[in-house]
């Protein structure tokens, strides 16, 4: 009888514990989600608002970090939004160091069209400078951080094409072409479950009658489904394998606007490509 009561008591305690498990799990989940986004990121700097979204600047505090073993600064000399709402990213030289800028959106937007509007460049893009527009999940190392890129660079070569579409880690399969940076441009990444569609346009200027002109488009099929979870859109400027640009000049790129257009029922179906922008 004593053993029976003891066994029954243990089963009762186990039942109560199992009832508490969901409560404990939910509490832990809420605690994790309530942590500020900046506290989980390395080299987190200040936050800023651009095109209706909050972004986090990168601050390496005088230490080298990737990409390219560079110094990154969230100073207003490197990253700021002007009175017209445009985002300025500047590669600058001070205190015998070259400082690079990077911003990362605080929210995950999921499946849809990521659209970057860029003003014409005042300073030419040096062969050793890289400008990156990309999706990146810091924690997902198994899937190469879910990285999807549009990159502007000649990768240290005078005669190389200056623009590429690429999905990591398939650098060898990058789609490369040239962009005329003296013109305003618009670049689109359509992030889908089974493919990534890239598009680039020249925006309207004083010499054009039409609103924009497409000059590149490419579709990359995926080996496995792209699972959107915690990847964030980021923009950066950095030096490729060099401690300074070959022309020894500071560099600035201006983003007039960023847009995101979610797909209908994003995450449940893989919609057909939009025929029109």
Q: Could you tell me the pLDDT band of residue 25, with boundaries at 50, 70 and 90?
A: very low
User: What confidence score (pLDDT) does residue 210 get?
Assistant: 59
Which of the residue ranges 12-21, 110-119, 137-146 has the most confident prediction, judged by mean pLDDT? 110-119
Average pLDDT over residues 82-111: 97
Give the start-to-end residue ranges of the domains of the chain: 1-34, 38-262
Answer yes or no: is pLDDT of 74 > 60: yes
Report, in angstroms and rounded to the nearest whole number, the Rg of the chain calculated over CA atoms: 23
Answer yes or no: is pLDDT of 18 > 80: no
Burial of 1: CB neighbours in 10 Å, binned 0-12, 13-18, 19+: exposed
Mean pLDDT of the chain: 84
HSE-CB for 135 with a 13 A CA cutoff: 33
Average pLDDT over residues 10-20: 52
Average pLDDT over residues 115-132: 97
Answer yes or no: is pLDDT of 202 > 50: yes
Q: Could you tell me the pLDDT band of residue 200, with boundaries at 50, 70 and 90?
A: very high
Which of the residue ranges 24-38, 66-80, 259-273 has the most confident prediction, judged by mean pLDDT? 66-80
- Top-tier CATH class for 38-262: mainly beta
Among 11-15, 120-124, 136-140, the minimum mean pLDDT is found in: 11-15
Burial of 163: CB neighbours in 10 Å, binned 0-12, 13-18, 19+: buried
Q: Model confidence over 203-237: pLDDT tens digits?
A: 986 555 557 899 999 999 988 888 888 899 999 99
Among 58-72, 109-123, 140-154, 238-252, the minimum mean pLDDT is found in: 140-154
């Amino acid at each position: 009888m004593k053993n029976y009561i003891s066994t029954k008591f243990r089963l009762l305690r186990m039942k109560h514990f199992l009832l508490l498990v969901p409560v404990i799990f939910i509490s832990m989940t809420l605690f994790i989600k309530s942590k500020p986004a900046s506290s989980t990121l390395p080299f987190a700097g200040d936050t800023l608002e651009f095109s209706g979204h909050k972004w986090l600047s990168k601050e390496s505090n005088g230490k080298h970090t990737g990409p390219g073993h560079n110094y990154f600064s969230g100073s207003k000399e490197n990253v700021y939004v002007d009175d017209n709402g445009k985002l300025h990213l500047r590669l600058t030289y001070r205190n015998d160091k070259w400082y690079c800028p990077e911003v990362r959106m605080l929210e995950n937007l999921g499946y849809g069209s990521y659209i970057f509007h860029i003003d014409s460049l005042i300073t030419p893009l040096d062969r050793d400078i890289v400008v990156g527009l990309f999706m990146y999940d810091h924690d997902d190392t198994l899937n190469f951080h879910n990285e999807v890129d549009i990159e502007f660079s000649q990768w240290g070569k005078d005669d190389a094409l200056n623009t590429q579409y690429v999905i990591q880690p398939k650098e060898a399969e990058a789609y490369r072409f040239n962009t005329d940076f003296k013109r305003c441009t618009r670049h689109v990444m359509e992030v889908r479950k089974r493919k990534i569609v890239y598009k680039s346009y020249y925006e309207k200027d004083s010499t054009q009658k039409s609103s924009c002109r497409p000059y590149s488009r490419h579709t990359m099929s995926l080996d496995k489904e792209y699972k959107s979870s915690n990847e964030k859109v980021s923009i950066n400027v950095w030096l490729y394998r060099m401690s300074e640009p070959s022309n020894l000049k500071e560099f600035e790129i201006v983003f007039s606007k960023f847009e995101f257009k979610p797909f209908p029922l994003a995450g449940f179906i893989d919609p057909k490509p939009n025929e029109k922008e």
